[in-house]
Structure 1
Amino acid sequence: MRTLLLTAGLAALATGAAAQDRQLQLYNWGDYTSPELIQKFEQETGIDVTITDYDSNDTALAKVQAGGHGFDLVVPSANYVPIWVEQGLIQKLDQSRLPNFKNIAPEWVDVDWDPGRRFTIPWQWGTTGVAVNTSVYSGDINTSNIFLDPPEELRGKINVVPEMNDIVSLAIMNVGGEPCTEDLDILRQVRDKLMNAKPFWLSMDYDSEAKLSANDIMAAATWNGPSMRARLNNPPVAYGYPKEGYPLWMDSVALLSDAQHVDEAYEFLNFIMAPENAALISNYARYANGIAGSEEFMDPEMRDAPEIVIPEESKAAGVFLPTCPSSAVELYSRIWTELQS
């Protein structure tokens, strides 16, 4: 009897310890995860979530490639997902463990970068364009010339987000090329365009939102989310969709192949596919998501925001960036290194 009681007691202690040890390590872009979402998830599941930020796809990829990271989930952009899959860094999802998978909007299921969503689920999607303070500049803002050939009113008052793929792609499309091009004539034009424009930029950093809100800058090459957040603080800020072409993107959540907290990761993945929870993600970062029915839970200003709802006349210019071959990336990296020197 004492042996049975002792065994039962030890089992209870082990169960209690396991329950207390429930945790999840999320590796995500900075300022991109709703605190309200995390608090709700922790309260409902008892899982303790730790968030580690990164500032670029390349940073995240290099960190996980190096090993010993301890992360369970990561949020790569669409054109990087095939790289993660090819290198075996993320694992195929067991969709039977994700009853809310059915909530993914049909247009976001059979996507080019992850057909059938075998490896990822949607987090948020958006665009890369330009933001302009219209109290200073009243001309056409639907052009990448806002930062590549700046009008006089904006010179010296521009911030450019330091994201190579987005900025180089905007420049390629501005001179009439296609993303991932290796045409050296096109790339010479891109290099010259960027280098000639740089003296008219005030800065290259990620925080366009704060600078636009405070009138520290008057224009930015940036994403639609920071632009919307800036407009809510500073109404003259408007978002432009470059008619020469602009990147569309989607960031998606993937389960790392060496994840240590797989059960907890599946609970989180299923949780964020509930429409009311996906809305929390969007309400925080001000991007759309890929979950059907989430709109009714979003803040009212999200539903028809000009930064979220792409104007009909601008839709055709949006392009999902493909996964470029390493030879193209090497060429772009040379341009980028020179630009940042």
Structure 2
Amino acid sequence: MKVWLLLLVLAVVTVGGTTALAQEATQVEPWTCPEDVLNMENKTLNFLNWATYIAENTVPDFEAACGVKVTADFYGSNEELLARMRAGNPGFDLIVPTGYTVAEMIAEGLLEPLDKTHIPNMANISPDLLDTAFDPGNVYSLPYQWGTVGIGYNVKSVAAVLGEDVEITSWNQLFDYPVARVGWLDDQRVMLGIGLLMLGYDPNSVNPDEIREATDYLVEKGRNNVLRIAVDDGQELLARGEVDMVIEYSGDIFQVALACEDDPNCGMEYAYVLPDEGANMWIDNMAIPVGAQNKRLAEAFIDYVLHPQVGADISNYIAYASPNQVSIDDGLIDDYLLESPIIYPTGDVFDRLFVTQAFAEMPEVQQYYNDAWDELKIFVAR
């Protein structure tokens, strides 16, 4: 087992079992571009995605298979994605919103229904990740990746501050960190959900008094130690040594750890923990925004991503959990990911995860969260 992975595993409560036992990989037939898409030569798929969230070969292989081009742009938060789409789709054909954002976009008429006859590989998706509350029947979206939000940290830096024998197991250790070298994630629902959780409330509370209390709690906790609210780049702050601890996505911390392991001059150790109090679980989804000029091409790309080998290549490269059950069953997911209770949490750890619920039909509640988050961001920026 790799050294950094051992640190990651030791940083969480030990759980038994994994999603699937490691096995020898099965050879699968490569994905074939549909004939009607082959006739779209010289078309361009405009893809709006999170940064560092796709394998190096994914786009070039699709371009080669179909004779088309793919352009990519990036966003750093669901709130940014929503703002861009609400202003009018400037030409994107495919986006990757998180579950609760899918629900908001459906309610606002911002997504196109999928033609599932063009996406036969959706049969490869784990049934546990289909027909969710945010998109019943998967009319508008299909899973891309899933994962968690926890604490990523520099082992040596934290040990220098808290002591060599201190094990990070709680959100309190981040919120009470004695130096201003902490990063928060730029996600209003995740951050306020953690605040609510720490106060003993439902992380999806609709009670304005509880949301107010969680806001005050986070303001008080962040007053002295938050350096920055990170727009999907907390892992980079960690890698550059600007922060010791950061609230971040699981795979982003794995990426930093992998890069460090491959760099003989790194000299750092990174760990990721799902705190004892609980943490957030999310599903990111492929969806087609209203106004897309190349809907058929986008559906072909979705089907391509859901191919067992293509999906495995993405998960193996970016270190997130795959929704593709065939990729797992056929042994295409790297063993060190599949066997990690951080990437594929099970047992008591999984039971402590909360999923952010959408408030698409309760705009007044969403406004409570918007106002609270605006207040928190102003506080941190000053």
Unaligned runs of 5+ in 2: 1-35, 262-267
Q: For 2:95 and 2:55, how far apart are their aligned partners in 1?
A: 15
Deviation at 1:214, TM superposition (A): 4.2
Q: For 1:160 and 1:125, how far apart are their aligned partners in 2?
A: 20
For each residue in 1:4-25, what CA deviation from the matched residue of structure 2 results, as whole angstroms up to 9, or x when unmatched?
Answer: xxxxxxxxxxx9xx74432111
Corresponding letter in the other structure for 1:190: A
Match for residue 234 of structure 2?
A: 208
- Greater helix share, structure number: 1
1:96-135 equivalent positions in 2, closer than 5 A:
96-135=117-156
Three-state SS of the structure 1 residue aligned to 2:132 is coil
Deviation at 1:327, TM superposition (A): 1.8
Deviation at 1:316, TM superposition (A): 1.3
TM-score by length of 2: 0.78
Corresponding letter in the other structure for 1:236: E
Count of residues in Structure 1 that have an aligned counterpart in Structure 2: 323
Deviation at 1:158, TM superposition (A): 1.3
Match for residue 68 of structure 2?
A: 47
Q: Structure 1 residues 242 and 147 mapped into 2: Cα distance closer, same or farther (>3 Å)?
A: same
Q: For 1:63 and 1:203, how far apart are their aligned partners in 2?
A: 23
Larger Rg: 1
Deviation at 1:131, TM superposition (A): 1.6
Three-state SS of the structure 1 residue aligned to 2:52 is coil
Corresponding letter in the other structure for 1:282: S
CA contact (8 A) 1:158 1:200 kept: yes
- Is 1:197 equivalent to 2:229 in the alignment? no
- Is 1:310 equivalent to 2:345 in the alignment? yes
- Is 1:226 equivalent to 2:247 in the alignment? no
Deviation at 1:208, TM superposition (A): 2.2
Q: For 2:131 and 2:327, how far apart are their aligned partners in 1?
A: 19
Deviation at 1:44, TM superposition (A): 0.9
Q: For 2:90 and 2:187, how far apart are their aligned partners in 1?
A: 23
Deviation at 1:247, TM superposition (A): 1.3
Q: Structure 1 residues 272 and 217 mapped into 2: Cα distance closer, same or farther (>3 Å)?
A: same
Aligned mate of 1:161, from 170, 178, 185: 185
**The 10-residue stretch of structure 1 (323-332 or 48-57) with the greater mean CA deviation from structure 2:** 323-332
Deviation at 1:254, TM superposition (A): 0.8
Corresponding letter in the other structure for 1:287: Y
Q: Structure 1 residues 242 and 115 mapped into 2: Cα distance closer, same or farther (>3 Å)?
A: same
1:227-246 equivalent positions in 2, closer than 5 A:
227-232=253-258, 233=260, 236-246=269-279
Q: Which of structures 1 and 2 has the larger relative contact order (alpha carbons within 8 angstroms, sep 6+)?
A: 2
Q: For 1:339 and 1:116, how far apart are their aligned partners in 2?
A: 36
- Is 1:259 equivalent to 2:292 in the alignment? yes
Deviation at 1:140, TM superposition (A): 4.3
Aligned mate of 2:50, from 29, 35, 46: 29
Deviation at 1:184, TM superposition (A): 4.1
CA contact (8 A) 2:141 2:286 kept: yes
For each residue in 1:95-114, what CA deviation from the matched residue of structure 2 results, as whole angstroms up to 9, or x when unmatched?
Answer: 11212121111111222212
Corresponding letter in the other structure for 1:293: V
CA contact (8 A) 2:274 2:342 kept: no
Corresponding letter in the other structure for 1:313: D
RMSD of aligned residue pairs (Cα, Å): 2.2
Deviation at 1:252, TM superposition (A): 0.4
Three-state SS of the structure 1 residue aligned to 2:281 is strand
Corresponding letter in the other structure for 1:237: Y
Three-state SS of the structure 1 residue aligned to 2:227 is coil
Aligned mate of 1:74, from 84, 87, 95: 95
